[in-house]
Amino acid sequence: MKFLAVSAVVSALLSFVSAAPIVLKKRDWDYSSEKIHGVDIGGWLVLEPYITPSLFEAFGDNPPVDEYHYTQWLGKEEASNRLQNHWSTWITETDFSYIAGMGLNFVRIPIGYWAFDLLEGDPYVQGQQEYLDQALGWCAEYGLKAWIDLHGAPGSQNGFDNSGLRDQIGWQSGQGNVNVTLGVLSQIATKYSSSNYSDVVIGIELVNEPLGPELDMNQLTEFYNQGYEVVRGEGNVPVIIHDAFQADGYWDNVLNTQEDSSVYQVIVDHHHYQVFSTGELQRDLNTHIQTACNWGSAEGNEYHWNIVGEWSAALTDCAKWLNGAGRGARYDSSYLGGAYVGSCNGLYTYDQSYWTQDVISQYRQYVEAQMDAYENGKVGGWVFWCWKTESTVEWDFQRLAGLNIIPQPLSDRWFPNQCGF
C-alpha cells in the first residue's frame, strides 16, 4: 500500500464527485430535521502540539507545552511572524473545497479569547480574526455551515493545552476571567450574528470542554445562562453548550424554556473518545462499538438537540504528544506508568506495515458505528476531530479517508446497522 501526499489523497477521493456541482445553501439550519456531517479545524487558530508538532519541535528537547508558552518564549514579534505563516498555510481555501467535495456540510472552528481581548501581561499575539473571517467566506463559497467555538478562556477552563494554557485551571478563580469571557462572547455575537454571516454561522459555542469535575458547576450553569443572554441578545444564532463531561441528560433542566419553544436554540455539545484511560484502552473492539452505540441511544432522548462535536477513529493514545508535549502514551505505559496495553509502533507516523487490511477493517467498523450512533433521535450529527494533522493517522480525516477507514461516500457501509437503530 502506497501513501499519497494529502492533496493527492483528497484529489483522488474527489474524482467521483468532480462532475457534480456544489450546491450552495443559503438558509438557517434546522437541528430538528437536518444532520451535521463535519470536521473540526483543529490546530489552526489555537495551537495543539500533537496536531502540528513541527512548530514545537523547533525548540529542541524542551519545547513549550502550549500556545501561551510558545508565544512567551518567542516574544511578540517573532511569535507573530511564525504564527502568521502558520495561519496562512496550514488551512487554505483548498481545504474548504476538499471538505465540501468529500460530502461534509459543516466545520467547527476553534479560536481563543486572546484573538479578541488580551489580559494584562498576556504573551499571546493577535491576528486570528482575519483568518476566521476568511474561513467563513470560504464556507459561504462552498456551501458549508459553521460553529465559532471559544476554545480557550482566560486562566484556562480545563488545564488542557488546547485551552492555550496547560496544567492550571484558573478560569473561575482568576479575577474577572468569567466576565472577560462574556465580553469576548459579546464581541463574537455582535460581529457574527450580522447579516454578513447569517447564511453560515449556525452556532456560537460558549466555551470548549470546561472541566466540570474540577469546576464549580453552579458557577458554570450561571455562566451558561449569562452567555445565552449575551449571544441571543445580539441575534438569532443558536447557543452551543459543552456537556462539561457530565452524565447524559445533565443539562436537560438548564436553558430549557425558550420563549419560542424552539429547543434547538440551545444545542448540547458532546465529545466522545475512548482512549484517555487505561480501562478504555483495554476494551476490545466490540466494547468500543457498544459504548458508542449506548451514547447515541442515551443522547437521542435528551431534552435538547445535541451534536457530537468531537470524536475520532482513535483506538489508542499513541499519537505523538496527544497527552501533551513531552509526554508519552498510556497505551505503551510510557505516560503515567500504568498497565501496558500494546506497542505504539506504526501509530506515531504513517507506517505502511501497520495499516494492513485487517487493521483497516477494524478501524472502519468502529468509525461506521460512531457515525450511525451520532445520528440517533435528538443527536443531530457528528463533527470529526480533526480535519488534518502533520503526523498521525488516527486523528486525521483526510488520511483516514485515503485508507478507506472514513467511508467515501459518507453513506457507504461495510458494517451496516451495528447499533440496531
3-class secondary structure per residue, 330-358? CCCCCCCCCCCCCCCCCCCCCCCCCCCHH
Contact indicator for 324, 401 with CB cutoff of 8 Å = no
Nearest to 171 by CA among 211, 205, 204, 225: 211
pLDDT at 288: 98
Give per-residue pLDDT as tens, 259-276: 554 556 999 999 999 999
For the chain, what are the domain ranges?
6-13+33-402
* Number of neighbouring beta carbons within 10 Å of residue 227: 25
Give the DSSP letter string of 39-63. EE-TTSSS--TTTSHHHHHTTTTS-
Residues in the chain where the model's pLDDT stays below 50: 1-5, 15-27, 261
Rg (CA), the chain: 20
pLDDT at 183: 98
Q: Which of 67, 302, 310, 394 is catalytic?
A: 310
Q: Which of 48, 205, 209, 394 is catalytic?
A: 209
Give per-residue pLDDT as tens, 278-319: 999 999 999 999 999 999 999 999 999 999 999 999 999 999
310 annotated active-site: yes
Helix, strand, coil percentages in the chain from 3-state DSSP, rounded to 5: 35, 10, 55
pLDDT at 36: 98
Q: If you search the block for the grid coordinates 485515503, which residue do you land on?
A: 402
pLDDT at 174: 77
CATH of the domain spanning 6-13+33-402? 3.20.20.80
pLDDT at 351: 76
209 annotated active-site: yes
pLDDT at 346: 73
